[in-house]
Chains A and B, each alone.
Chain A
Amino acid sequence: MTIQPRRITLDEWDIRYIELLGQGMVEPSYGGPLRRHVVDGGDTRLLKLRYDDSAAALRLWNFLLTEDDRLREARERGKLLIGTMKDLGTVPVMAYSGPNVVAFYPDGAWWIPCMMEMSAGLLSIASSLGLDETFCPVRAMIGAFVTQAHFPIPDLLTCSVGATCDDFSAIAQRLEGLGYPILWWEIPSRRKPDAGEEAITLPGGFTAPASQVAFVRSELERVRTAIADLSGSPLDDGALKEGIHAANRIRRILRELRTLAFTAPICPIPALEMLIAEMLAIHFCSDRDEAAAVLGQLLDVVRTRVEAGVGVLPAEAVRVFWVNPVADLRVMNLLEDCGGRVCGTEYLFSHALDDIPEDLPPMEALARMALADPMVGSAADRARRVVNDARGFGAEAVLISRIPGASHCAYEGAVIGEAIKSELGLPVVEIEVPPIADALMPTLTTRIEALMEIRRN
């Protein structure tokens, strides 16, 4: 007998946790009831979310919410910590290829204001340092560096710069000004090869001139040297190949998870858990092997549900393709409360879900992967990928979520929206989601419900 999965509240999770323990649930060392993150960690937003009720989802949440503990334990065990800023999915692959190194993503602090409902004061600290609300909420990261309460200060900080967000560049420069040295590596704006230039097809299908790939490779070589210098042992091609292979393993799990979750007739897993799962592709949440195990368990649950034809939402839920991650996680619940389901995503790092070529020299493969980042090309390029993916997943509507203050969001939404309308004829709605969107819930609800009505009418 297959039990009908449900979306449940934190109160219901308290009961469900005891139930699962009674059924013999075995938890990893970071396991425990979800509520402890409210009590011990101050993550009060958890009280307002709805969750998948599986043990796999619980493990996913616990894995996410214990990253700080994991990093501090790693340091105590003598591991070296690298903060890989801005880069979405390339330098972490390199760092985990080195011995005795743990990489993490300080930018992930952008969710702390949401999770702690502003109680950590990170945005206020950022504002006091000149990074006010006209900047992307990722400015919370600088507050986390100041308080040192959310992650340990890394031994090495890297940051991609160039064709990345203006906001982030400014925030990272301010961070460096506060006394945190940064290894900057440049990523150029991806362009189409000119006539006569050697063209290289990147993972995901974009093309770039060979000269740009060579340039990025040379920049990543500097990162390789820095990682080797930090760890005291060379980061050779063999180690990088192993690192790429391990990263691809996670990417493949995620691709299968996405395909199953987004194409199943009945939605097998909520949008919120899928968002968290996808994020693991870019940084592994400070433990690459455990990330693979967490995602593997989630995939098993989703596969079982799809085979049994059960899910967490009604079969008639409108299939929505979601563009950009949200600063307030509650909005992922809202889509489902309004009668939708996520059937495809482009959270700014779709390249990190593609395989890194394993038949190329590793640094060449990584350079191509870095240049495939949707954020370093034109908005039209990104729109093309969204159109293709939305078509592939059979989307019935598209929701574009703007991040307030984020420079890349200011204009990309319109370009992507127009491409969707003209090429797929699907209804599109654009919303803006601040870190705490409670005051906007009525208007966000109206917009999302209207999108559902347009589709159904």
Chain B
Amino acid sequence: MVSVGVDAGSRAIKIVLFDVDSREVVASGIVAQGVQCNDLANDLLRDLIERSGLGTGDIHRVIATGYARNMIDFADTTVTEITCHARGVYHVAPDAATVVEIGGQDSKLLRLGRNGGVRDFSMNDRCAAGTGRFLEVVADRLGVVLDQLGPMAARSQTPASISSTCIVFAETEIIGLLSTGISPDDIVAGVQNSIATRIAAMAGRKVAAPVVFTGGVAIVPGMDRALESALGRPVSIAPNPQFTGALGAAIIAAA
């Protein structure tokens, strides 16, 4: 039997199949979010089930999480992404005390208690300037793909200072920086620092180690270092960070 975790996020839908007995991931998949969210998730699940040699009768339970969780009509129940990310991180990094999750359109900082339970959390979701969307806008403006941002930031000698608190104004600011001769590498590094600084501000003065970084933005090279610098703590990236929420949902569904 497998349990299913569906993370219907703002930018992508992620699904994890989790073996209820062996407590291991059987399969995982991702698809871009769209208008027909439920259909997209259903198609992805069907595909994963087929590729795993399973049938629908092998599904123990389905839990949906993420912003569009209530649109997943085949889910048995829903759980917030806050609880799911915590549970997913606990599975892969049981010592984690703090989880930073940066997704497409929000960012979160979770403080974990015993057994992966959430003790406390902070969220930034009013403004895209602390989220993955900022990186997408910057990549688009600089004419590069997301994968290039890490190497670009790594080449930076003097990260630019991004002062705008709004992603729209920041875009204008970037154009201004380019026109004054600031290199794209320094701009990318500056944007990464800007996002990390926002997370640090959200964290307040108390960030307990170990810090685990998860969510889609964790796969962008260089963001972990920017976070380390801003938080003043070592930061490790969760394995398959995009799937942590779906994994947590699947684990909860397995209970």
Are A453 and B79 CB-contacts (below 8 A) given A432-B126, A442-B67? yes
- On chain A, the residues within 8 Å of B67 by CB distance are 442-443, 446
Q: Which one of A429, A440, A450 has the highest number of Cβ atoms from chain B below 10 Å of its Cβ?
A: A450
Segment touching A, from B80-88, B173-181, B231-239? B80-88
- On chain B, the residues within 8 Å of A170 by CB distance are none
- On chain B, the residues within 8 Å of A447 by CB distance are 123
Q: How large is the interface on A (under 10, 10 to 19, 20 to 34, 35 or more residues)?
A: 10 to 19
**A47 interfacial contact with B, CB 8 Å:** no
**A454 interfacial contact with B, CB 8 Å:** yes
**A427 interfacial contact with B, CB 8 Å:** yes
How does the 8 Å CB contact mask read for B68-96 relative to A, with 1 for contact and 0 for none? 00000000000111110000000000000
Complex CA distance for A449 and B123, rounded to whole angstroms: 13
Are A454 and B119 CB-contacts (below 8 A) given A442-B67, A443-B125, A446-B67? yes
Report the minimal beta-carbon distance from B99 to chain A, rounded to whole angstroms. Answer: 13
Interface size on B, residues (CB 8 A): 16
Report the minimal beta-carbon distance from A415 to chain B, rounded to whole angstroms. Answer: 12
Chain A residue nearest to B115 in the complex (CB): A457
**A428 interfacial contact with B, CB 8 Å:** yes
Chain A residue nearest to B117 in the complex (CB): A457
Contact (Cβ within 8 A) B80 A449: yes
How does the 8 Å CB contact mask read for A386-423 relative to B, with 1 for contact and 0 for none? 00000000000000000000000000001000000100
- On chain B, the residues within 8 Å of A454 by CB distance are 83, 117-121
Contact (Cβ within 8 A) A450 B121: yes
Q: Which 10 A-B residue pairs are closest in the complex by CB-CB distance? A: A450-B82, A450-B80, A443-B125, A453-B83, A449-B80, A457-B117, A454-B118, A446-B80, A442-B67, A453-B80
Q: Which A positions have Cβ atoms within 8 angstroms of B?
A: 414, 421, 427-429, 432, 440, 442-443, 446-447, 449-450, 453-454, 457
Complex CA distance for A419 and B37, rounded to whole angstroms: 41
Q: Which B positions have Cβ atoms within 8 angstroms of A?
A: 67, 79-83, 106, 117-121, 123, 125-126, 204
Complex CA distance for A51 and B254, rounded to whole angstroms: 38
Complex CA distance for A427 and B81, rounded to whole angstroms: 17
Complex CA distance for A81 and B83, rounded to whole angstroms: 53
Report the minimal beta-carbon distance from A418 to chain B, rounded to whole angstroms. Answer: 9
Complex CA distance for A213 and B28, rounded to whole angstroms: 68
Chain B residue nearest to A449 in the complex (CB): B80
- On chain B, the residues within 8 Å of A428 by CB distance are 120
Contact (Cβ within 8 A) B118 A457: yes
- On chain A, the residues within 8 Å of B204 by CB distance are 414
Chain A residue nearest to B69 in the complex (CB): A446
Complex CA distance for A440 and B82, rounded to whole angstroms: 17
Known: A450-B82, A450-B121. 9 other contacts (CB 8 A): A414-B204, A427-B120, A443-B125, A446-B82, A449-B80, A453-B82, A454-B83, A454-B118, A457-B117
Contact (Cβ within 8 A) A446 B81: yes
- On chain B, the residues within 8 Å of A453 by CB distance are 79-80, 82-83, 118
Contact (Cβ within 8 A) A429 B106: no
- On chain A, the residues within 8 Å of B126 by CB distance are 432, 440, 443
Complex CA distance for A449 and B83, rounded to whole angstroms: 10
Are A421 and B123 CB-contacts (below 8 A) given A449-B80, A450-B80, A453-B80? no
Complex CA distance for A428 and B120, rounded to whole angstroms: 7
- On chain A, the residues within 8 Å of B81 by CB distance are 446
- On chain A, the residues within 8 Å of B79 by CB distance are 453
Report the minimal beta-carbon distance from B207 to chain A, rounded to whole angstroms. Answer: 15
Complex CA distance for A184 and B251, rounded to whole angstroms: 61
Report the minimal beta-carbon distance from B7 to chain A, rounded to whole angstroms. Answer: 13
Chain A residue nearest to B125 in the complex (CB): A443
- On chain A, the residues within 8 Å of B119 by CB distance are 427, 454
Complex CA distance for A446 and B245, rounded to whole angstroms: 14
- On chain B, the residues within 8 Å of A450 by CB distance are 80, 82-83, 118, 121
Chain B residue nearest to A453 in the complex (CB): B83
Complex CA distance for A457 and B82, rounded to whole angstroms: 12
- On chain B, the residues within 8 Å of A442 by CB distance are 67
Complex CA distance for A432 and B126, rounded to whole angstroms: 10
Complex CA distance for A443 and B67, rounded to whole angstroms: 8
Interface residue from A414, A421, A429, A432 paired with B121 (Cβ < 8 Å): A429
Report the minimal beta-carbon distance from A414 to chain B, rounded to whole angstroms. Answer: 8
- On chain B, the residues within 8 Å of A457 by CB distance are 83, 117-118
Complex CA distance for A414 and B201, rounded to whole angstroms: 13
Chain A residue nearest to B123 in the complex (CB): A447
